[in-house]
């Protein structure tokens, strides 16, 4: 998940060079459960051809460039839930996997207070290149994973893992974790109840509302098809360490197993 931008230049007209990672990676591809985990913002990497989008590496390693801790939580859950996981290998600043192409945040010109120089006045050809080489391969692979579960007689449950910064635009966020939903409110409500039993502050469609264009992945691959889905946001300061990752992944494992057992049949 490091930036790793010292790569050979790609052929003319291409975004990624032959020595750079594939747009995504898959963990536990032969998983036995019906759960499909996604981590859309797992990496802060920028293709070498984009020259860090004009940003210093230390900025890219903050919440501006990726969802801190989310990839580690997702990887642990893939093991403990016996679930397949797909995770992006490039920063959301290249193109946001979790936004509809053409949305203003698809290729964000700024992230919170940070202006992204390399995303100013992006040409249509560059937008199309980012979409073709990063966005589309990820979603094609995710669609295939879900279809594979269905072909084997499972009812897939798509669970998206994200994280959020504790302070945004100078406002403190009180939630420890957020459960975002669009089409499956009952499942989300049950998950909120499970997670809040010990006094944990759980956001109901907070700090973002999945009904407001921020849950493209779950809606596109599951919600529109009637499949079980939920998007989970964990506050980043709680999963910055290995201990925090283990604690929250293990809490989510228990909560998800309990709730999905009641809301799926596959």
* DSSP bridge partners of 86: 26, 38
What is the rounded CA–CA span in Å between residue 17 and residue 20? 5
Q: Is residue 220 within a helix (H) or strand (E), and if so which, with residue range?
A: helix 216-221
Which pLDDT belongs to residue 221? Answer: 96
Which pLDDT belongs to residue 211? Answer: 79
pLDDT band at 265 (very low <50, low <70, confident <90, very high): low
In terms of CATH, what superfamily is 24-263? Zn-dependent exopeptidases (3.40.630.40)
Contact 99, 93 (CB under 8 A): no
pLDDT above 50 (res 8): no
pLDDT band at 266 (very low <50, low <70, confident <90, very high): low
What are the structural domain ranges in the chain?
Answer: 24-263
pTM equals: 0.93
Which pLDDT belongs to residue 1? Answer: 42
The mean pLDDT of 23-48, rounded to a whole number, is 97
pLDDT above 80 (res 264): no
- 66-98 burial, b if ≥16 CB within 10 A, otherwise e? bbbbbbbbbbbbbebbebbbbbbbbbbbbbbbb
Q: Report pLDDT digits (tens) over 57-109.
A: 999 999 999 999 999 999 999 999 999 999 999 999 999 999 999 999 999 99
Q: Rounded to the nearest 10 degrees, how much is the dihedral formed by the CA atoms of 106, 67, 235, 112?
A: -50
pLDDT band at 16 (very low <50, low <70, confident <90, very high): very high
């Amino acid at each position: 998940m490091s930036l790793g931008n010292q790569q050979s230049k790609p052929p003319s007209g291409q975004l990624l060079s032959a020595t750079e990672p594939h747009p995504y990676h898959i963990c536990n591809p032969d998983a036995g459960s019906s759960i499909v985990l996604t981590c859309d913002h797992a990496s802060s990497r920028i293709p070498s051809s984009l020259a860090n989008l004009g940003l210093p590496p230390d900025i890219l390693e903050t919440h501006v460039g990726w969802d801190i801790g989310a990839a580690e939580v997702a990887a642990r859950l893939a093991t403990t839930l016996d679930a397949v996981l797909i995770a992006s290998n490039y920063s959301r600043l290249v193109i946001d996997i979790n936004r509809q192409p053409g949305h203003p945040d698809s290729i964000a010109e700024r992230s919170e207070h940070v202006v992204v120089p390399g995303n100013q006045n992006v040409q249509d050809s560059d937008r199309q290149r980012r979409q073709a080489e990063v966005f589309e391969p990820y979603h094609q692979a995710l669609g295939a994973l879900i279809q594979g579960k269905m072909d084997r007689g499972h009812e897939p449950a798509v669970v998206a893992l994200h994280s959020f910064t504790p302070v945004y635009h100078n406002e403190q966020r009180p939630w420890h974790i957020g459960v975002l939903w669009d089409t499956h409110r009952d499942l989300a409500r049950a998950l909120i109840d499970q997670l809040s039993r010990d006094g944990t502050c759980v956001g109901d469609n907070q700090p973002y509302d999945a009904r407001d264009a921020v849950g493209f992945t779950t809606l596109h691959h599951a919600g529109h098809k009637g499949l079980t889905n939920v998007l989970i946001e964990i506050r980043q300061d709680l999963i910055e360490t290995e201990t925090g990752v283990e604690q929250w992944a293990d809490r989510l494992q228990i909560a998800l197993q309990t709730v999905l057992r009641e809301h799926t049949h596959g």
